[in-house]
Amino acid sequence: MSAPTCGIPAPAQPPGPAPRAPWARRVVTGAITLTMIASPFLFSDPRSPWAHAYDADYIKLYSDGIAQGTDTLPSLVTAGSRAHYLAGSRVLDPGPRNPAALATAEDLATSSRAWLDAGTVPGKGGPYEDMVTGALLDMHALQVDGASVAAWSAHWRYVWPRDASFVAAAMASTGHIDEALKILSFLRDAQHPDGSFEARYLPDGSGPPDNRGVQTDGTGWVLWATQAVLAQIDDADDRARAAKHLRPMIDRSTRHILALTSRRGTLPVASSDFWEVPESRLTLGTAAPLLSGLEAAADLYGVLGARSSAARAATRAASLRSAIMREFGPRYARYADGQDRDAASAFLLPPFQPTAVRGALEAWRASASEMGRPAGGLAPGGGWPDDGISWTPQTALYGLTAAWAGDDEASRTWLTWIDEHRTPSGAIPEKVLADGSPAGAAPLAWSAACVVLAVAQLDQGL
């Protein structure tokens, strides 16, 4: 792995397993070795459902929040402490005893408040204003020269195209168009010539941090985000210029999805998805984002005035939609031949599709009870390990989908739950344990983005 060149420290390697009795160690080591031979990255990401098999600290809180520093890089707030930020910022208050430090901090905070004022804060004046403000500030702090990293803790300090796409859409929804376009430009430059994306990238843009390979859903998510961002640009000339700037990525991505769906039946091949594990069977978590991408491409080519390309994308989208309904419906489980539903059922609904896939709304509603966890949040899927842990990305995702479905009560239930389970510093953590304690990385950009998008949609319904 090459060293980052933009001053971002390389994440440490994952820790080894906790000490065990000699006989247990031999059994577990043998099992893990066999699994890792078949799956070289199964245990290398904390978001994998089996990551805790190697990580004795799986359920700890890695940080309480993030702090904006005097340079371009943030720092972590120690877990177990509570940050005292200057108002409207993620700048730590140094206190009155050091006037010089306080003056510097106030300058940074002023800049932060100016950034907030340049856009909007969804839910302003309501119960979610503080959470949304914090989510925006956290996403802003987690972006370094267009690299929107998932979190600042060691194993998350990478750019996932999936997570970054949601952040770009959230930034655009609040009027921070320039920041959204910088995120998309980073992804444009990182993309392979064939239109595919690696699972994740080093934030200096030098490439992936490991050899886990391509995750197909990234191409769909990036097209979806590009359409979402451009839709927020009111001026037609500015929108056309942004589309032209991003067209190389639009073209490559569309060609790639067309190639992936050119087989008989139009369904793509299997790929790892948001579960972050290898897959030998196609998941809904891959198929649905590709449908989102094709639907977005049809709209984007309309903006670009490329009618034939728009028609081709729309035709293939209709074919893929029919194939998903035929193979995955009406249950819409994770696998076409499976029973366990997962959070990908939300990807078949707005805002990820222009209209809900037939039967998907009912499947999405049913999935929530299958994914429920003791603390009140959701797991990524009904087949996820039964460890009692709630995951905020999926819980916030359901808050977002509920808002678009017009179920404001359900949306507010999910959002209130997330608000009540933030860290003492106000960050949205990745996980919440069965006893309600925050765990994992905090803040997590994907969760923050879904919260912002959900509250923005609720505002639209007022």
One-letter amino acid at 200 equals R
Q: What is the average pLDDT score of the chain? A: 89
Q: 50: how many CB neighbours lie within 10 A of its CB? A: 16
> With a cut of 50, which residues of the chain have pLDDT below it?
1-44, 53-56
175 exposed, middle or buried (CB, 10 Å; 0-12, 13-18, 19+)? middle
Cα–Cα nearest to 227, from 275, 172, 299: 299
Q: What is the pLDDT of residues 183-200, one digit of tens each?
A: 999 999 999 999 999 999
Contacts of 34 (CB under 8 A, 6+ apart): none
Q: How many residues does the chain have?
A: 462
> Beta strand 431-432 with 65-67: parallel, antiparallel or unpaired?
unpaired
Predicted pLDDT of residue 25: 32
d(CA 421, CA 426) in angstroms, rounded, equals 9
Contacts of 144 (CB under 8 A, 6+ apart): 6, 8, 72, 73, 203
Query: Which tokens hold the place of 265?
Result: 């039946």
Taking phi over 0 as left and psi of -120 to 50 as alpha, with beta for the rest, 305 belongs to left
Tokens 């720092």 belong to residue: 75
The three-state secondary structure class of 316 is helix
Structural domains of the chain sorted by starting position, each given as residue range(s) with its CATH number in brackets: 62-460 (1.50.10.10)
Predicted pLDDT of residue 27: 33
Predicted pLDDT of residue 71: 72
Strand partners, 431: 391, 439
Question: Are 235 and 303 a contacting pair, CB within 8 Å?
Answer: no
One-letter amino acid at 181 equals L
- pTM exceeding 0.85: yes
Q: 459: how many CB neighbours lie within 10 A of its CB? A: 18
Contacts of 303 (CB under 8 A, 6+ apart): 230, 239, 240, 243
d(CA 230, CA 291) in angstroms, rounded, equals 19
Query: Which tokens hold the place of 87?
Result: 């108002």
Query: Which contacts of 34-41 are long-range, i.e. CB under 8 A and separated by 24 or more positions?
Result: 38/278, 39/277, 39/278, 40/211, 40/212, 41/199, 41/210, 41/211, 41/212, 41/276, 41/278
d(CA 200, CA 210) in angstroms, rounded, equals 9
Predicted pLDDT of residue 267: 96
d(CA 297, CA 224) in angstroms, rounded, equals 8
- DSSP string of 19-82, one letter each residue: P--HHHHHHHHHHHHHHHHH-TTTTS-TTSTTGGGT-TTTTSB--SEEE--SSS--EEEPTTS-
> Beta strand 147-148 with 438-439: parallel, antiparallel or unpaired?
unpaired
Distance of CA 14 to the CA centre of its chain: 21
Question: Are 432 and 393 a contacting pair, CB within 8 Å?
Answer: no
Q: Is the peptide bond before 330 cis (omega within 30 degrees of 0)?
A: yes
Question: Are 134 and 427 a contacting pair, CB within 8 Å?
Answer: yes
d(CA 422, CA 437) in angstroms, rounded, equals 9
Contacts of 163 (CB under 8 A, 6+ apart): 148, 150, 445, 446, 449
Q: What is the pLDDT of residues 140-186, one digit of tens each?
A: 999 999 999 999 999 999 999 999 999 999 999 999 999 999 999 99
Q: List the end-to-end C-alpha distance of the chain, in Å, as a whole number.
A: 50
Q: What is the pLDDT of residues 315-336, one digit of tens each?
A: 999 999 999 999 999 999 999 9
CA torsion sign for 317, 321, 322, 327 is: positive
